Amino acid sequence: MAKKLKIGLIGAGRIGRLHAQNLAHHVPGVELCAVADVIEEAAVELSQKLGIPRATTDYHELLKDPDIDAVLICTSTDTHAEIIKAAAAAGKHIFCEKPLALDLAEIDAALSAVNEAGLILQVGFQRRFDPNFRRLKELLAGGAIGQPWLLKITSYDPAPPPISYIRVSGGIFLDMTIHDFDMARYLIGEVKEVYATGSVLVDPEIGKAEDIDTAVVTLRFVSGALGVITNCRKATFGHDQRIEVLGEKGALFAENPLPHTAVLADEGGYRSAPLHYFFVERYRDAYIAEMAAFVEAVREGKTPPVAGIDGKFPVVIGYAAKRSLEERRPVRLTEVDPTLDI
């Protein structure tokens, strides 16, 4: 029997707990050895719930442990780059939630540290692992609709996050739309130019926090294809996540999965299940597949499905979108990062 991959968790918040539960119950061949969180109660509670042997408030203890092969970084965004560099120096393989950082220089430094150490870094863009989106990608790659011409991504949240979170999130483009930017690259290829517009329609407090809550972003890909992303922080009917691609030979559609497919028909009409409420329910299987892919990449020493550079490009696109919103004009990605070869 192959030796279990030993993993340490850094960050015991909502997403950290989700990954820990999936590793404990759904991903074979791994052992959660320790959990670190600056809030001691959170670390202890999770360790007791899942039988994790050690809980600490200092993530450096995990990095010093020679038995730990890899770490999951699920802390606040402003700590990601620092922890990535420390983990790389300690020789640990890394899974890090998005975004890698909000500063491009910090991202570059973190990626350099990982590359120089010869380690694996996977970034947490779980939507790539959604079975419907993956099938759409396979059909595109197989030439089912020929050359793709137009991409449409719909991405609505059921409710906005707390204002306290919005103030430190980097804004809608770097917090919410960043997933859609990654999906656009995953499906169509590199983005060349961005034009964004937006409004504050859901909550005026979001505007006071210098952000928007409703946006439309158009993308021009290197291939010449066009993309349209529509975002809103509030949809009363649930977490709405749909994709459409039009191409020379046809179109592809990925609709929202429902909790069940039963339909009630009566004098009031036809009624089906509501959408999944939010991302935890909507992407349950994707999160499990994401962790399984990371474990496989580490075990086999291969490039992960979402590599470090995949964590940088959506941030660059996000900053291009922010500049476009502010200056009311299309913005090329090379204006944000002249080093990009696109």
pTM of the model as a whole: 0.96
pLDDT value of residue 341? 86
Give dist(CA 342, CA 340) in Å, integer. 6
Give dist(CA 234, CA 256) in Å, integer. 16
Give dist(CA 233, CA 54) in Å, integer. 38
Side-chain half-sphere exposure of 132, counting CA atoms within 13 A: 14
* DSSP classification of residue 69: -
Residues sharing a CB contact under 8 Å with residue 85, sequence separation 6 or more, in sequence order: 109, 110, 113
Does the pLDDT of residue 120 top 80, yes or no? yes
Q: Which domains does the chain have, with CATH numbers?
A: 5-119 (3.40.50.720), 128-283+312-336 (3.30.360.10)
Each residue of 19-40: pLDDT tens digit? 999 999 999 999 999 999 999 9
pLDDT value of residue 342? 86
Average confidence (pLDDT) over 72-88: 97
Give dist(CA 304, CA 222) in Å, integer. 24
Give dist(CA 83, CA 197) in Å, integer. 34
